[in-house]
Structure 1
Amino acid sequence: MHLSPRDPRALADFVTAVSTPGDPLYHRYLAKGQFAAAFGPTRATVADVSQALKAAGLAPGRVSPDGLSIPVTTTVARASHAFATGFSNVRLKDGARDGTGDGTIGYLNTSAPALPARVAASVTGIVGLSDLGTVVSHHTPVRHVSEPAPVTGRGPRTVAPRTYSPGLCADFTGSGLSDGTDYYSPGKLAGTYGMTSSATAGAGQTVAVFELENVDPAAVAAYQSCAGTAASVSHVYVDTAQGAGAPAGSTVDDQPVGVESALDIEDLIGLVPGASIIDYQGVDASSATDQNVLDVYQKMVTDDQAQVISTSWGLCEPVESGATANAENTIFAEAAAQGQSVVAASGDSGSSDCEPATGSASAAVDDPASQPYVTGVGGTTMTGSGGTATQKAWNSDGGGSGGGVSTRWQPTVYQGGVATTGKRAVPDVAALADPSTGYPVYFTDAAQASGPLPGIIGGTSGAAPTWAAAVVQANAATACRTNGRAGFLNDALYRAGRADYPAGFWDVTSGNNSVFATGFTAVAGYDEVTGLGAPREAGLTTALCAPRGTAATGASTFHPLAAPRRVLDTRNGTGWGLSSHPTTKPLVAGGTAPVRIEGVAGIPGSGVTAVVLNLTVTGTTGSGSLTAWADGTTKPSTSALNWTGTGQTLAASTTVEVAGDGVVDLATNSATHLIADVQGYYTSDSTGSGYSALKPARLLDTRDATGISTTGKITDRAVSLKVRGRGGVPSEATSVVLNLTATQTVGSGYLEAYPEGATRPTASDVNWSATGTTVPNLAVVPIGGDGNVSVFVRGTSHVIADVSGYFSPAGATFRTVPPQRLLDTRRTTALGSGATLALPVAGAGSIAADVKAVVLTVTVTGTTGTGYLTAWADGTGRPTASNLNWVKGRTISNQVMVPVGSDGKVDFYTNSTTQVIADVTGYIS
């Protein structure tokens, strides 16, 4: 019985925080034994679940150290009664556990298990109701270095001990095979990937390997003698006893026992001989249940002895039960919270991971490589070494780099803008896997010799421990010893990919993984064959061991752009995708688009604390919302833009914090194209302008000739709007904050605001797509030399412009805050027609008590008729200007920069009953 964390969102947020440079929790991992108290289910929950099991006639055992599982041993009859499910026997194929054919008998529950309602929400799954679908190892057959003599009369093989050097002994160097052509010695492989090659590499670190077979100590000893190493290798047995199961060198289900563990352990010995290696050994793969597999992973995590965990065993994702996958997910989240890095082989069947087990060539990926808190490792073919080496995707001799798109896990934030898929993409990275240029190992083949033999082997089973060794070396470097070990890798890997891709990764741009069916092709940047690519150790260490840094906080001043600059447009690939691998796909539902701010569009390469973006969605596929936040920080539950249907084009401006990597993240919960235009930015120095809030005042209304001499709608022309000297805007103002509204629109169109006398920009401020629309949006516009701004109308519409503040050298400074929700009337009562609501903001959330003005994203939803909303400082008279305008049934968002009353409150008035939401993104003080 596997239990859910007490607050899964809090656990996910903690993992993000400890993985984000600049966050106060960065690399402040949980210590061993702290997880249960911090995130495990409460004692009351454990007691309730245990009592429910007892009431069902079961005998629950002692809860695991992390509080996430309760063991239950029972009969089929009792389990059937307790969980209201039946069981059926399944005849297996030749003893294999794939549920087809004839052979031995397995069992399978016939319906989903049921639990009492009071505890069901606390349980992620019940594992063990089936014994189908065990994991397999991801290595290729061993290629003998030379043909061994027959067993008869052959004694145990001995290898003369030697002193460590980057090379190997005469078994390989004297074999006629070439290092760097026919195989890669540890020294040659390390040198090619920029890793250290020495007898003490990885000193002070511990790496754990997951195994479901007996390790061959004689083979490991032979390898150490050949390599001249003396690495520490210890063993932990889970659900099994030492020596139990099939002996190394034997064959079970046509699979040699001990070869996988030899590859995993010996690869690590060669690359990080100074590290301690722990073999966590479970029940033999041929008889291991899903629970046996989980027990090994859980033991590796709750022991918390190893900083890096490597697994070369997996199961094609569609075959694995949801209960098992969910339980794994929580275990790997626990590992991330403790600062343990988990790497997993992505499989050797290309894009068709299930083919060996089920015969299906359909697209599928491998678990646990597809797990969100695991780094999936694909495979490459390498030619040459050092600076002349080349790599392509591995696909040869019936095997190839596993990769594709998960059918289970939603798109991850860290892959946003890199893997533009509707689900989690695999792999994340890659390394050498081709057996024709593979890994030198010693192994035992009892059918051919009585002692260890030298051989060469490949598969992503070699790529995974190679990446584990790269992380171990990073952890041992000065940067990680100073700033904390790497921990959960994927956030940092993809952040590095967006920031300085060539420094940390060897981009693999050729080959494919079409082994059993059409798969994916390696291209520049990320791909579903080799991920981000192979490691470049120096840049990788910098990425994984970044200094703590500081968050983008403190007083900031504003710098307007002379004209808005486009930094993202998914319609044509602008700013969308990694390196030279852009895409013109829309942002998928649940997807994330990281947008670089620093160093683009005339923005400085450092020191930017926030950016003012005009965000536009177009080609919407249904109702949805967009969230914007600082890359690497916790995704907030706030929204910056909302829409209600298909085929809409809407825009809203927002102010977004910019964190240390100079990137902001944009995510939608509905597929749509997305455009982002920069209007201006804030920096942490005093070189820009400060803000002065004004009581909102109407400067333009074409319906009644305010600010213009006519009352007609504007069609395809610009309106000159005098700003300085009106509404409280002084002569020294450099930019003005206008709330622009298009109303009584005809057809589709847009508004553009820009300094008078300047070239009209190509970016829009307000968009509409239908007749009769009323759409508002806030715009920060530089003021022309004549004191005016121009508002261009494309199409036909009435135009309203209300001023709410201005920037000048004498204004107050701006401070960013992580987006936080301050108001949501959906939790209480809608704001009625003609009602006013006073919202306390001073001291709320991260807002200072001396706040002068606040930057809010205000959303109205559940609108009951045509209406408008006005925001102003509490204690002052309500202005005649509006901030949001809507028609019945629409959900509308707009950024509002509103002064705060002397009592620390702002007021909201609506003339039509509606729900009101207010999210803060910054404030002026």
Structure 2
Amino acid sequence: MRTNLRPAHRRAAISLAAAAVLGITAAAVATSANAAGAPAAKSAGPAWSRACDAPAPGMAACDALHVTNVPEHIRALGVTPNATPSGFGPADLRSAYKLPANGGAGQTVAIVDAYNDPNAAADMATYRSQFGLPACTVASGCFKQVSQTGTSTLPANNTGWAGEISLDLDMVSAVAPNAHIILVEAKTASMANLGTAVNEAVKLGAKFVSNSYGGGESSADTGYDTKYFQHSGVAITASSGDGGYGVEYPAASPYVTAVGGTALKKDSSARGWSESVWSTNSTEGAGSGCSAYEPKPTWQKDTGCSKRTVADVSAVADPATGVAVYQTYGGSGWAVYGGTSVASPLIAAVYADAGTPKASVPAANIYSHTSALNDVTTGKTATCTPKYLCTAGTGFDGPTGWGTPNGLAAFTG
């Protein structure tokens, strides 16, 4: 039986400096609370909560964090011309990671999530229209929404996972706007059903599959690897988790690209951006560490773990520097999201921009092109031994892997 990795995540507050990234002023003062509902001290900044409820034993949880009190400066619903929603949008992400404006042509990216979002297509259409991205519809053949077995009979609706679905679709739209997208919805959040959905995504032709969920490691994981995640020449990404230091599955699989998380901020540097490890507190931040069960891939050379080390690469995940998302099923329109659920579909879309993978396990390419990444050298999630498993430094570290995209070179081949 799979067990849950983390206690329920806490809602968190951020400083005014970070709040400014989201367009929030000192007037936006909120009381945050932990996931059990206990009040926390007031803080001048936004608060956030898990998009998905804490899972039952044996189930995975999505890694999306919904910022709950960001005041929007555009109307809540629909498209507002000549206005910008709170949170980073496509142009910001492309600028931060030196990505093409028209990436993804000829490629198919799949999103695997649990349960159904009945507004998925319509909400994605609004996001794309707001940011001037090309339409991607069912009618045109660009978008497909199917069950874990590929049928049009979709699972039960779920408002929490709908937030995850909106986030995933919007991140792929932002980074690979010309890619086709398949949303494969598992009937529950069990690894068997989510894994079946991964297999279906590959069967339907996706060469890039994002998984923004995870649960505690299990001795059964090596069996899940070969049954669900071992797809040669397919870039499968998985969120490293939002619980700080510690490992979850499927990010621990040696057949996936484990994606950690950063805080992303605009600055006056030559790059125009800076990043550090995402860490809110001792129980919330980018997941990392040594797997208890998974063998170490041949392309992973760090010496602090005898088995698989998480993560490989990273991207923005801090809710305090979160991204714009449009969600109406379980949401009220424009919102800001964070969590490593931002980073996983973003990296899957970067792979799509780079073209069809040639390597059997595309994560191996990252380790061969480490100089083509933004090395994240500041921040930590915990105190651990060896230090690099939870603390950023020059080169490889657990929370951010080898760093964040700096163009496409690290994801090509």
- Aligned partner of 1:508 in structure 2 is 376
CA contact (8 A) 1:329 1:372 kept: no
Gaps of 5+ in 1: 1-94, 99-131, 149-153, 163-168, 178-182, 251-255, 352-363, 546-925
Residue 314 of structure 2 corresponds to residue 314 of structure 1:
no
The CA distance in 1 between the partners of 2:254 and 2:148, in whole Å, is 25
The CA distance in 2 between the partners of 1:394 and 1:332, in whole Å, is 27
Residue 334 of structure 2 corresponds to residue 454 of structure 1:
yes
CA contact (8 A) 1:349 1:515 kept: no
Aligned to 1:210, the other structure's residue is in SS state strand
2:244 to 341, 346, 350: 350
4+ runs of 1 displaced by more than 6 Å?
Answer: 515-519
2:147 to 214, 231, 237: 237
CA contact (8 A) 2:113 2:161 kept: no
The CA distance in 2 between the partners of 1:222 and 1:327, in whole Å, is 36
Q: Which amino acid aligns with 2:352?
A: V
CA contact (8 A) 2:77 2:334 kept: no
Q: Within 5 A, what are the aligned runs for 1:850-869?
A: none
- Aligned partner of 1:631 in structure 2 is none
The CA distance in 2 between the partners of 1:225 and 1:96, in whole Å, is 33
Q: Which amino acid aligns with 1:469?
A: A
CA contact (8 A) 2:127 2:326 kept: yes
Q: Within 5 A, what are the aligned runs for 1:588-599?
A: none
- Aligned partner of 2:201 in structure 1 is 300
2:284 to 395, 399, 411: 399
Gaps of 5+ in 2: 1-52, 137-141
1:492 to 339, 342, 365: 365
Distance verdict in 2 for CA 1:246–1:236, change over 3 Å: closer
Residue 336 of structure 2 corresponds to residue 466 of structure 1:
no
* The structure with more helix, counted as a fraction of residues: 2
1:528 to 395, 398, 409: 398
Residues 836-890 of structure 1: per-residue CA shift (max 9 Å, x gap)? xxxxxxxxxxxxxxxxxxxxxxxxxxxxxxxxxxxxxxxxxxxxxxxxxxxxxxx
The CA distance in 2 between the partners of 1:223 and 1:515, in whole Å, is 40
The CA distance in 2 between the partners of 1:388 and 1:97, in whole Å, is 39
2:129 to 225, 234, 246: 225
CA contact (8 A) 2:275 2:376 kept: yes
Aligned to 2:194, the other structure's residue is in SS state helix
1:271 to 175, 198, 205: 175
* The structure with more strand, counted as a fraction of residues: 1
- Aligned partner of 1:135 in structure 2 is 60
CA contact (8 A) 1:294 1:328 kept: no
Residues 111-148 of structure 1: per-residue CA shift (max 9 Å, x gap)? xxxxxxxxxxxxxxxxxxxxx41011001123454279
Say which structure, 1 or 2, has more relative contact order (CA 8 Å, 6+ apart): 2
- Aligned partner of 2:112 in structure 1 is 210
Aligned to 1:424, the other structure's residue is in SS state strand
Distance verdict in 2 for CA 1:171–1:516, change over 3 Å: farther
- Aligned partner of 1:377 in structure 2 is 259
Measured after TM superposition, the shift of residue 537 of structure 1 is: 1.4
Measured after TM superposition, the shift of residue 192 of structure 1 is: 1.6
Q: Which amino acid aligns with 2:225?
A: E
CA contact (8 A) 1:191 1:197 kept: no
The CA distance in 2 between the partners of 1:442 and 1:292, in whole Å, is 26
Instruction: Decide which structure has the larger Cα Rg and report it.
Output: 1
Distance verdict in 2 for CA 1:241–1:510, change over 3 Å: same
Q: Which amino acid aligns with 2:274?
A: T
Residue 338 of structure 2 corresponds to residue 434 of structure 1:
no
The CA distance in 2 between the partners of 1:535 and 1:171, in whole Å, is 24
Q: Which amino acid aligns with 1:306?
A: A
The CA distance in 2 between the partners of 1:220 and 1:515, in whole Å, is 40
1:368 to 250, 268, 271: 250
CA contact (8 A) 1:471 1:486 kept: no
The CA distance in 1 between the partners of 2:146 and 2:222, in whole Å, is 24
The CA distance in 2 between the partners of 1:234 and 1:462, in whole Å, is 21
Q: Which amino acid aligns with 1:438?
A: G
The CA distance in 2 between the partners of 1:437 and 1:407, in whole Å, is 32
Q: Which amino acid aligns with 1:350?
A: G
The CA distance in 2 between the partners of 1:96 and 1:396, in whole Å, is 19
Measured after TM superposition, the shift of residue 282 of structure 1 is: 0.9
Measured after TM superposition, the shift of residue 489 of structure 1 is: 1.5
The CA distance in 1 between the partners of 2:221 and 2:402, in whole Å, is 28
CA contact (8 A) 1:235 1:279 kept: yes
CA contact (8 A) 1:370 1:426 kept: yes
Q: Which amino acid aligns with 1:138?
A: D
Paired positions, count:
347
The CA distance in 1 between the partners of 2:228 and 2:54, in whole Å, is 27
2:300 to 415, 425, 430: 415
- Aligned partner of 2:19 in structure 1 is none
- Aligned partner of 1:327 in structure 2 is 224
Q: Which amino acid aligns with 1:382?
A: L
- Aligned partner of 2:46 in structure 1 is none
Aligned to 1:514, the other structure's residue is in SS state coil
Aligned to 2:400, the other structure's residue is in SS state coil
Distance verdict in 2 for CA 1:143–1:226, change over 3 Å: farther
Q: Which amino acid aligns with 2:60?
A: V
Residues 1-37 of structure 1: per-residue CA shift (max 9 Å, x gap)? xxxxxxxxxxxxxxxxxxxxxxxxxxxxxxxxxxxxx
- Aligned partner of 2:26 in structure 1 is none
The CA distance in 1 between the partners of 2:227 and 2:99, in whole Å, is 32
The CA distance in 1 between the partners of 2:54 and 2:396, in whole Å, is 36
- Aligned partner of 1:197 in structure 2 is 101
Residue 157 of structure 2 corresponds to residue 157 of structure 1:
no
Aligned to 2:196, the other structure's residue is in SS state helix
Aligned to 2:238, the other structure's residue is in SS state strand
- Aligned partner of 1:341 in structure 2 is 235
Distance verdict in 2 for CA 1:515–1:236, change over 3 Å: farther
Measured after TM superposition, the shift of residue 159 of structure 1 is: 1.9
Q: Which amino acid aligns with 1:522?
A: A
Residues 775-816 of structure 1: per-residue CA shift (max 9 Å, x gap)? xxxxxxxxxxxxxxxxxxxxxxxxxxxxxxxxxxxxxxxxxx
Measured after TM superposition, the shift of residue 330 of structure 1 is: 4.1
Aligned to 2:287, the other structure's residue is in SS state coil
Aligned to 2:263, the other structure's residue is in SS state strand
Q: Which amino acid aligns with 1:158?
A: G
Distance verdict in 2 for CA 1:147–1:190, change over 3 Å: closer
Measured after TM superposition, the shift of residue 171 of structure 1 is: 4.9
Measured after TM superposition, the shift of residue 272 of structure 1 is: 1.0
CA contact (8 A) 1:350 1:516 kept: no
The CA distance in 2 between the partners of 1:409 and 1:391, in whole Å, is 29
The CA distance in 2 between the partners of 1:399 and 1:392, in whole Å, is 15
Q: Which amino acid aligns with 1:463?
A: A
Measured after TM superposition, the shift of residue 529 of structure 1 is: 1.3
Residues 313-342 of structure 1: per-residue CA shift (max 9 Å, x gap)? 11121xx3x335413334322x12xx1111
Distance verdict in 2 for CA 1:222–1:487, change over 3 Å: farther
Measured after TM superposition, the shift of residue 197 of structure 1 is: 1.5
CA contact (8 A) 2:116 2:185 kept: yes
- Aligned partner of 2:43 in structure 1 is none
CA contact (8 A) 2:147 2:154 kept: no
Measured after TM superposition, the shift of residue 535 of structure 1 is: 1.1
The CA distance in 1 between the partners of 2:161 and 2:191, in whole Å, is 20
TM-score (normalised: structure 2): 0.76
Aligned to 1:279, the other structure's residue is in SS state strand
Aligned to 2:106, the other structure's residue is in SS state coil
